[in-house]
Amino acid sequence: MNVNHNQTTALLGWSLQAIEAIDKMNRPFVVVGPPEFESFAEKNGILFVPWQFNVPIEQSFELYEKLKAFNVKITVPIYEETVEWAGMMNSLIFENPKIYNKSLLLRDKGLMKRRAHLAGLRVGVFEEAYNKDDIARFFNRINQALVKIDDEQLEPIHVKPFDKAGTVGHRMIKELKDIEEIEDEEFPLLMESHLEGQEFSCEAFIHNGKIKFLNITEYVKLGHSNFVPASPTLEQWRPQIKEIIEKLVDSFDVKYGIIHPEFFVTPEGEIYFGEVANRIPGGHIFEHIERAYGFSPYQGQILCCDPTTTEEELEAFFPEEVVSAKGHSGNLMVYPKVKTVSKLNVPTELKDHPYFVKHNMFIPTSSKVAERVGFGNHYGSITFFGKDPYEMRKLLEEYEKHNFYL
């Protein structure tokens, strides 16, 4: 790709994949990232502004002045903690304070649920919790509403932080005693009812309020395994999914960039909204898209964040969904099932399978397994690629049960 843009694009956050992608686009860029990456950036000729994103957003004018010196025309968020910073920078660049306010909707799970609900999307029952009594009350009310009596199994609820990415801080409450494990400093939390169904995510590339490319990622087990594109079983709901995402884009007034919503679909095709992010997805999803379709989604994000990108550029860049995929790309994130690790146990039949691409599992320097955050810190992943989505699902389900660490 040879796009000639004179003004600078700022990447907020540190991602080598995103840096390599924009470098190939022949457009000026600057990276705004944690100070510890400054020496690496200098050695590799990367324009770099050191910045701590955990400081108060009121310091944004200081960052804005730094970016003005680089003639920055647009900022692109890389990970969750940079979303509102990109919103603030872009609101100052375009002199439109609403851009910042809208970014907050995509950071606060309580606000985003309400906005989705107001837009007519199906959502579970949800409330904010400020203490353990709030959770106990919500848990009891959900089960009273479902008329759970005597020794019937109680309906679980979920609690999660308002502004953390993915599964960080996510807990499932199955009985009242589970609430006692929550530390006081974790509050406030969002509480929501449990939704049944096939969970999946979408990666929608938006430009001028229109979807330019829509990927559906099939989750085999949340936080453990997924693949792209989804199987025909899930892809059959694409028209309904696209319609819901268009409603989401309109209601959140998303004009540019990517959104990464998560949904549940019932066997009858009823689709429930889970949550939505406004940055690069986790779970190696961008790598899957590139392996399956042959284009860089990092470059796609940069193009879609830029209002000056032309329709012709976008049309030439994005391929046709599903039918143009060369196969299905999937991965399994591996979590030790032991407390201390002594060796790796990778079966020969896994390496011999035609869908096996690579793994990056490792023996950690400390044999003690790190404490889990969210659903856990994975110790490497296994990548697969093949033509049959059902064989892919079977592989991911089978090896999720395997003990790779002994």
Within a domain: 174: yes
Within a domain: 121: no
Q: Give the integer Cα–Cα distance in Å for 197 and 157.
A: 15
Inter-residue contact 100 to 64 (CB < 8 Å): no
Q: Give the integer Cα–Cα distance in Å for 336 and 363.
A: 11
What pLDDT does 375 receive? 46
Mean confidence (pLDDT) of the chain: 92
Question: Within this chain, do residues 133 and 81 fall inside the same structural domain, yes or no?
Answer: no
Question: Within this chain, do residues 87 and 158 fall inside the same structural domain, yes or no?
Answer: no
pLDDT at 20 over 60: yes
Question: Within this chain, do residues 232 and 317 fall inside the same structural domain, yes or no?
Answer: yes
Question: Within this chain, do residues 204 and 290 fall inside the same structural domain, yes or no?
Answer: yes
**Domain of 181, in residue numbers:** 126-193
Question: Within this chain, do residues 215 and 321 fall inside the same structural domain, yes or no?
Answer: yes
Within a domain: 230: yes
Strand, helix or coil for residue 52 = coil
What pLDDT does 4 receive? 41
Question: Within this chain, do residues 336 and 311 fall inside the same structural domain, yes or no?
Answer: no
SS3 of 132-149: HHHHHHHHHHHHHHCCCC
Question: Within this chain, do residues 24 and 61 fall inside the same structural domain, yes or no?
Answer: yes
Strand, helix or coil for residue 131 = coil
Contacts 24+ apart (CB under 8 A), 12-15: 12/53, 12/75, 12/76, 12/77, 12/78, 12/82, 12/85, 12/86, 12/89, 13/53, 13/77, 13/78, 13/79, 13/81, 13/82, 13/279, 14/78, 15/78, 15/79, 15/280, 15/298
> What are the CA-CA distances from residue 246 to residues 47, 218, 310, 324, 340 (Å)?
36, 20, 21, 22, 47
Max CA pair span of the chain: 69
Q: Give the integer Cα–Cα distance in Å for 391 and 79.
A: 32
What pLDDT does 340 receive? 84
Domain end marker among 300, 326, 352: 326
Of the ranges 38-42, 158-162, 320-324, which one carries the lowest mean pLDDT score?
A: 158-162
Within a domain: 253: yes
Within a domain: 70: yes
Domain with residue 232: its CATH number is: 3.30.470.20
Question: Within this chain, do residues 146 and 229 fall inside the same structural domain, yes or no?
Answer: no
Domain end marker among 137, 164, 193: 193
Within a domain: 116: no
What pLDDT does 142 receive? 92
Q: What total of structural domains would you count in the chain?
A: 4
Question: Within this chain, do residues 214 and 322 fall inside the same structural domain, yes or no?
Answer: yes
Which pair of tokens denotes residue 361?
């599992």
pLDDT band at 337 (very low <50, low <70, confident <90, very high): confident
Within a domain: 383: yes
pTM: 0.90
Inter-residue contact 104 to 84 (CB < 8 Å): yes
Question: Within this chain, do residues 187 and 272 fall inside the same structural domain, yes or no?
Answer: no
Domain end marker among 74, 105, 136: 105
pLDDT digits (tens, 9 = 90+) for 60-107: 999 999 999 999 999 999 999 999 999 999 999 999 999 999 999 999
Give the pLDDT mean for 166-176.
Answer: 81
Within a domain: 239: yes
Residue-by-residue DSSP string for 80-100: GGGHHHHHHHHHHHTT-THHH
Question: Within this chain, do residues 351 and 267 fall inside the same structural domain, yes or no?
Answer: no
153 — phi, psi (to 5°)?
-65, 130
Question: Within this chain, do residues 246 and 165 fall inside the same structural domain, yes or no?
Answer: no
